[in-house]
Structure 1
Amino acid sequence: MRKSVWVLTGTATVLLAASGVVRLGVYPELARIPSDVDITVRYTGTMDMLDAAAVESGDLAGALLGDVPVTVDRRVQVVDTSGDTAVFSDHRVITGPDDRELLATDEQWAVDRESFEDAPVPDDSGAAPHDGLVIGWPIAPDERDYPFWDSATRTATTAVYDRTETVEGRTAHVYTVHAEGPLADPDRTAALPAALPRDVVTGIAAALPADRRPDAAALEALPDTVPLTYAATTDLRIWVDSATGIVLDTEQHQTFVAQASVEPEPVALLPVSDVEVRSTDESVRSQADDAEAAARSLWLLRTGAPLALLVLALPLYAVASWQARKTRRAPADPA
């Protein structure tokens, strides 16, 4: 009888320890960025853009193209992990009609594997410094504002909590982001002209709607060759799964405006890019399916498995205790 008490007690102890290991060991490891993240999402919409070919040919009236249908593919992939830091590759391609590639950007980010905010940049990683969220949200995000990094202007801004609603059957927190300032992304600035002749600038400006044309006196004061800088404005609306932090849907409006780099301050001349896109229905459904699967796994390791092991352990402890008491009360063997 004493042997059975030890077996029951030992088994219950193992189950109880396993419950703790799953909850305190396995779950925290799952509840952080894994090393094999590789996600591609797609957006569709329209783009107003400066047509470089039209500018070169002298067709200034047709140099600004409007409502060009575009597709944006964004691939986010973990390329390295080191302790609590994950290094992400963030690759975006804007494709126009006839599969013409209009713009491609490549960025690297060092991200804390739990908070999803900035982490110390590992040596030789190629990651750019940043401040706040840049590639996603932490697990179970709160209904509050988060620091957010705008990659176009390379400045910190805020993702403002707006509301909670349902997306493809999932509860989603909605955040809005607004950022503006000088365009600082090297991939984007490299795709835009550093200077234009004054007659080209004035010719394109003349083709703009009257309410969008720069001041005539400012145009007259421009030098023969106009050095250009660019201002960027980004507005985002992001739907984030409330249980897993997976981004379900994104709406983006981003504009780049050419400015004459003259004293005492830059003069806004004309828009060179205006992109409005939103996640495709297929991407939203795929992200919602991923969120559903991830939520089940998180619940299983956080609650389901530890609770099941605990439920198995407690009756064994009870039986062992009952048998131990029964043994103590039994009459002594006369022998």
Structure 2
Amino acid sequence: MRRTSWVLTGSAGILVAASAVTRFTVYPALHQVPADAKSTFRYEGTATLLDATALQAGDPGKAFLKDVPVTLDRSIEVEDTHGRTALVSDDAVLHGPDNAELSTSTHLWALDRRDLTERAAPAGSGAEKREGLVISWPLEPEKRDYRFWDTGTRSVFPATYEGTQSVNGREAYVYAITSDGPLADPATLKALPPALPRAAVVGLASALPEAQRPPQETLDALPATVPLTYTTATKRQGWVDAETGLSLDGTLHQTVLARTQSAEGPVTLFPVSDVDVRGAQASVRHQTDEATTTARLLWLLGTGGPLGLLAVALLLIALALWLARRRVRLATRVEETDTGVTTAAL
């Protein structure tokens, strides 16, 4: 019986150690961006785009694709990890009617695997420099403002906390980001003309609704070759799972405008793109299901599992103490019985 008590006590000690390892080693190791993380989120909506083919063909009147249905697929994949640092590719593809590819963008980021803020990029990785969040939110989001990197302007802007809403039964924090400024993304700038003939600019302007056209006197004063600069403005909203930090839903409205310098200052000539999309229902459902599964796993590893192991350990200790007391009581009874027999013999 004494051996049983020692076995129970030793087992309880092992369970206590297992509880600590689960909570303070296994849980932190898993509560970070996985080394094999890969996901794609789809947005749906409409876009008005400058049709470069029509423009090059000398037909500016048909150079705008207006309010065409589009999908935007944003794919995130961990390419490599170095301790707390993850190298993450961030690719976006905009498709139009008949699944025609309208535009693409590709980025590589170095980020912290827990709070997703910027990390020093490993030498030779090619990761872009940036500040703040860029692909998603910390694994434990808070009801506060964050700093978010805008790829179009290559600048940081505030992501403002706006409250809490429910997304498919999941509690979500809502954040809003508004950014604007000169277009600075090298890949986008490379795809846009630095200048256009005056006739092309006038033709594009005439294809716009009257309220959006630049003043006629501005068009008349343009040089034969019009130098162009570009600005971009973006409005985003994100619905972020309160428990896991997973993005559940989102909206994106992004515009790019062509401008030039007039005698009175910068003037907007015509829009290059106007994309207005929101998370597709199938992607939102997938994200909420993923958040539910992830939350259960994290609870099991961070709370349920460790507490369960501790509870079993306490039961084993209680059983060992009960057996020890029972052994003492039995020994006392035997001693009293032996004493009574001896007295009677005398």
Q: Quick check: TM above 0.5?
A: yes
- Specify the alignment match of 1:71 in structure 2: 71
Q: Deviations over 1:14-43 (max 9, x none)?
A: 001101111111111111111010001111
- Distance, in Å, in 2 between the alignment partners of 1:97 and 1:30 is 41
Q: Tell me which amino acid in the other structure corresponds to 1:232.
A: T
Q: Which amino acid aligns with 1:303?
A: T
Q: Which moved more, 1:51-60 or 1:29-38?
A: 51-60
The residue correspondences of 1:1-335 to structure 2 (distance < 5 A) are 1-260=1-260, 266-327=266-327, 330-331=331-332
TM-superposed deviation, 1:74: 1.1
Q: How far does residue 262 in structure 1 lie from its aligned partner after superposition? A: 6.5
Identity, % of aligned pairs?
50
Distance 2:26 2:74 in 1: 30
Partners of 1:265 and 1:228 lie apart in 2 by: 13
The alignment partner of 1:122 has SS state of: coil
Given the two structures, how large is their TM-score scaled by the length of structure 1?
0.95
Partner Cα separation in structure 2 for residue 102 and residue 191 of structure 1: 12
> Deviations for 1:219-256, whole angstroms, at most 9, x for unmatched residues?
33322111212100000011111111111111110000
Q: Distance between the aligned counterparts of 2:295 and 2:263, measured in 1?
A: 55
Distance in 2 separating the partners of 1:74 and 1:60: 31
Aligned to 1:267, the other structure's residue is in SS state strand
1:17 corresponds to which letter in structure 2? A
Let me know the Cα RMSD of the aligned residues. 1.8
Q: Distance in 2 between matches of 1:108 and 1:264?
A: 40
- Structure 1 partner of 2:343: none
How does the TM-score come out when normalised to structure 2? 0.92
Q: What is the CA-CA distance between 1:294 and the residue it aligns to?
A: 0.4
What letter matches 2:104 in structure 1? A
How far apart are residue 111 of structure 1 and its match? 0.7
Rounded to whole Å, the distance in 2 between the matches of 1:261 and 1:273 is: 20
CA drift at 1:217: 3.1
Q: What per-residue deviation string (whole Å, max 9, x for no partner) do you get for residues 282-323 of structure 1?
A: 111111111111011011001111111011000111222333
- The residue matched to 2:269 in structure 1 has which SS? strand
105-114 or 217-226: which moved more? 217-226
Contact 1:103 1:191 in 2 (8 A): no
Tell whether the 8 Å contact from 2:153 to 2:185 is kept in structure 1 after alignment. Answer: yes
**Residue 65 of structure 1 aligns to which amino acid in structure 2?**
L
**Residue identity matched to 1:215:** P
Q: Is the 8 A contact 1:104 1:187 kept in 2?
A: no
Q: Which amino acid aligns with 2:177?
A: V
Q: Which amino acid aligns with 1:295?
A: A
Cα displacement (A) at 1:264:
8.3
Q: Aligned-pair distance for 1:65? A: 2.1
Q: 2-side partners of 1:264 and 1:208: how far apart?
A: 22
1:42-85 CA deviation, whole Å, 9 max, x = no partner?
Answer: 11111111111221222222222210111111110000100110
Cα distance, 1:12 vs structure 2: 0.3
Equivalences, count: 334
The whole-number CA distance in structure 1 between the counterparts of 2:261 and 2:291 is: 47
Equivalent residue letter for 2:18: A
| Contact persistence 1:177–1:236 (CA under 8 A) | yes
Cα deviation for residue 122 of structure 1 reads 1.1
Greater mean alpha carbon deviation, residues 297-306 or residues 54-63? 54-63
How far has the Cα of 1:145 moved from its partner? 0.8
Instruction: Give 1:216 shift.
Output: 2.8
Structure 2 residues not aligned, in runs of 5+: 339-346
How many angstroms apart in 2 are the aligned matches of 1:138 and 1:325? 52
